[in-house]
Structure 1
Amino acid sequence: MMEKGPPNSSEGQQGWFSARNGSGSSLDLESVVQPLALNPWDVVLCISGTIISCENAIVVVVIFYTPAFRAPMFLLIGSLATADLLAGVGLILHFAFVYFIPSEAVSLLTVGLLVGSFTASVCSLLAITIDRYLSLYNALTYYSERTVTRTYIMLMLTWGASICHGLLPVLGWNCLAEPPACSVVRPLTKSHLVLLSASLLAVLAAMLQLYVQICRIVCRHAHQIAVQRHFLASSHYGTSTRKGIATPAVILGTLASCWLPFAIYGLLGDCSSPALYTYATLLPATYNSLLNPVIYAFRNREIQKVLWAVCCGCVSPSPPFRSRSPSDV
């Protein structure tokens, strides 16, 4: 999965994220057979993957088994939770396969799963942002068949692109046969990681532009309501405006703080970079999948009602509520 040095290597470059060791040697049979020293970073990633899987599994089960959650907004949240769930499972499988069943073929599969799931997670965030923007921009026509069709198209594009990215290492776009072409995440090639990092930066830029437009619409709507109700001089206008701007700021700020360090490092780093830097930038990126359920699902009042009903043992097959617009979440 990665190029491993001897067990007493000072850099502790076990696992998947690495540069080359001092000798520049690639993974060989001897390094596969030898037992690996446990890398604390891999343990932390495995624990993070377990928590991520549990969190998002709850969201997926709630949305799947609640008939009322068939609105486009909940389908996109379910897509995000599914992607993050697969990412958590991928982190667990990575740990298990590296330390218990070392195999290059299996390593490619787990790396492909992680690349595909994280790509689906970021693309789902973009789809949710587009849906929120359209729910404000076309508020009168949002609850129509066109919205449902558009949602399914976004889901197909999201998962189609993610599956393609995940299959690339498995189908041959990897550096196992040419170690110098490796990126900071072995066995991804430098060119592949540059493509992923550039795509992530493009998604961040698109989300920033959409949230700027969302803030403008929110401010305009709040101003119009304040004028109609003669509250322009009161604190109501300022409070509603701050609330409308704070939510996009938290969402975009969380995504940027989690993924931006890894995206920049993926563009600038190479196979000779210390593994420590890769772990230090990738770990915050995994925390985005940890925070997504809190931001997009557990804050939703309808999902909260179902969770409370399940905890109290009074599950209702169809909770009596009407889904709010994505702009209200």
Structure 2
Amino acid sequence: MSDHYEASVIPSWLTPDPTAWSGSDRGFADNATYPPLDSLPSLPPLLVNPWDVVLCSSGTLIACENALVVLVIWQNPALRAPMFLLIGSLALADLLAGLGLVLHFTFAYLLRSDAAQLLTVGLVVASFSASVFSLLAITIDRYLSLYYALTYNSERTAAFTYTMLVLLWALSLCLGILPVTGVNCLAEESTCSVVRPLTRNNVAVLSVSFLLLFGLMLQLYVQICKIVMRHAHQIALQHHFLSASPHYVTTRKGVSTLAIILGTFAACWMPFTVYSLVADYTYPPLYTYATLVPATYNSVINPVIYAFRNQEIQKALWLVCCGCVPASVAHRARTPSDV
């Protein structure tokens, strides 16, 4: 029991209950085993893990930011093209992920419900999985819009988009069940990963899936860059001034934008993915939080990259917030840097 008394800060993502103490090997708090309050020795005050506060704050920002995107797309009938449906899917996934982080903090420190924590971790896993899958779907959509430019706006494209949405959310929900299946690691700590209640096998599935998706996105963005540069080169040759062509300059900006998108995605998720594969429950909790927090920042950045930069969504936001659209936004021409 003395070991439990010494710890005033227990990370909620590494134990089922941050304020629980008991003699049970599983580490669950059991109301039936609590001794009378007057028999307890004096204990240091229980503190909230600051890393959990950071995750909860990130979740709040993620939820608010993406709720605005979902609201704008939902209320604007003009934003029903396949591209906006995929952006809406991304925003909805990030919104649910943000809510999951906030709910996990609430259940861990306030309600102290182990079952609820399992469900919230499942919600977080499913939501972030849907976010990553939505990013892949957006990449596929952008590739097809360039490769099949003449037939892109057909009914077949809309049907394909709906199919992708159904598949990505179904697969994400399946991955969200993993934390519940990993409840056994709470009884056998050696099977746990760096994030409880996920087992090492659960995390291996998620990490390998991410690496495969990242490799596919990388390949698609390389193909997008080739198509964009080829089109820019053909247009520039018609003007006889390759380096001075405005279209060529904006195309280079578009390629740079794609590099920023992919680089941001990798910088946010790759540290946590690699660390999850090589580490186990014996590693210091600090490393888990230091790699998990940047992964959540990807959901903060997604609306800026995919939604707020879009001209149509900008117009809708101005209408919602101010009731008017500035001339600089209304008449801005779409360029390759918007891809």
Specify if TM > 0.5: yes
Sort the Cα spacing of 1:233 and 1:88 in 2 relative to 1 into closer, same or farther, 3 A: closer
| 1:228 has 2:226 as partner | no
Q: Kindly name which structure, 1 or 2, has the bigger radius of gyration based on alpha carbons.
A: 2
**Equivalent residue for 2:76?**
66
Q: Which amino acid aligns with 2:29?
A: L
- Aligned counterparts, 1:282-293, within 5 A: 282-293=292-303
| 1:305 has 2:315 as partner | yes
**Equivalent residue for 2:162?**
152
**Equivalent residue for 2:188?**
178
Displacement of 1:118: 0.4
Partner secondary structure for residue 177 of structure 2: helix
TM-score, normalised relative to structure 1? 0.89
Displacement of 1:283: 0.1
Is the 8 Å Cα contact of residues 262 and 285 (structure 1) preserved in structure 2? Answer: yes
Alpha-carbon distance in structure 2 between the residues aligned to 1:112 and 1:286: 15
Gapped regions of structure 2 (runs ≥ 5): 17-22, 35-42
**Equivalent residue for 2:266?**
256
Sort the Cα spacing of 1:273 and 1:26 in 2 relative to 1 into closer, same or farther, 3 A: farther
Is the 8 Å Cα contact of residues 123 and 176 (structure 2) preserved in structure 1? Answer: yes
Sort the Cα spacing of 1:282 and 1:227 in 2 relative to 1 into closer, same or farther, 3 A: same
Structure 1 outlier segments of 4+, above 6 Å:
31-35, 323-327
Is the 8 Å Cα contact of residues 137 and 217 (structure 1) preserved in structure 2? Answer: yes
Sort the Cα spacing of 1:18 and 1:279 in 2 relative to 1 into closer, same or farther, 3 A: farther
Partner secondary structure for residue 216 of structure 1: helix
Is the 8 Å Cα contact of residues 250 and 336 (structure 2) preserved in structure 1? Answer: no
Q: Which amino acid aligns with 1:198?
A: V
Q: How many residues align?
A: 317
- Aligned counterparts, 1:21-100, within 5 A: 26-29=26-29, 36-100=46-110
Is the 8 Å Cα contact of residues 17 and 278 (structure 1) preserved in structure 2? Answer: no
Q: Over residues 119-170 of structure 1, what are the superposed CA-to-partner deviations in whole Å (9 max), with x where a residue is unaligned?
A: 0000000000000000001101100011001101110111000000112322
Sort the Cα spacing of 1:212 and 1:258 in 2 relative to 1 into closer, same or farther, 3 A: same
Q: Over residues 173-219 of structure 1, what are the superposed CA-to-partner deviations in whole Å (9 max), with x where a residue is unaligned?
A: 65223221000000000000011011111111111000000000011
Higher relative contact order (CA 8 A, sep 6+): 1
> Which has the larger displacement, 50-59 or 222-231?
222-231
| 1:281 has 2:279 as partner | no
TM-score, normalised relative to structure 2? 0.86
- Sequence identity (%): 63
**Equivalent residue for 2:115?**
105
**Equivalent residue for 2:279?**
269
**Equivalent residue for 2:4?**
6
Displacement of 1:171: 4.6
Displacement of 1:8: 3.7
Alpha-carbon distance in structure 1 between the residues aligned to 2:229 and 2:5: 59
Partner secondary structure for residue 141 of structure 1: coil
Alpha-carbon distance in structure 2 between the residues aligned to 1:24 and 1:133: 54
Alpha-carbon distance in structure 1 between the residues aligned to 2:253 and 2:334: 17
Alpha-carbon distance in structure 1 between the residues aligned to 2:210 and 2:151: 31
Q: Which amino acid aligns with 1:27?
A: G
Partner secondary structure for residue 100 of structure 1: helix
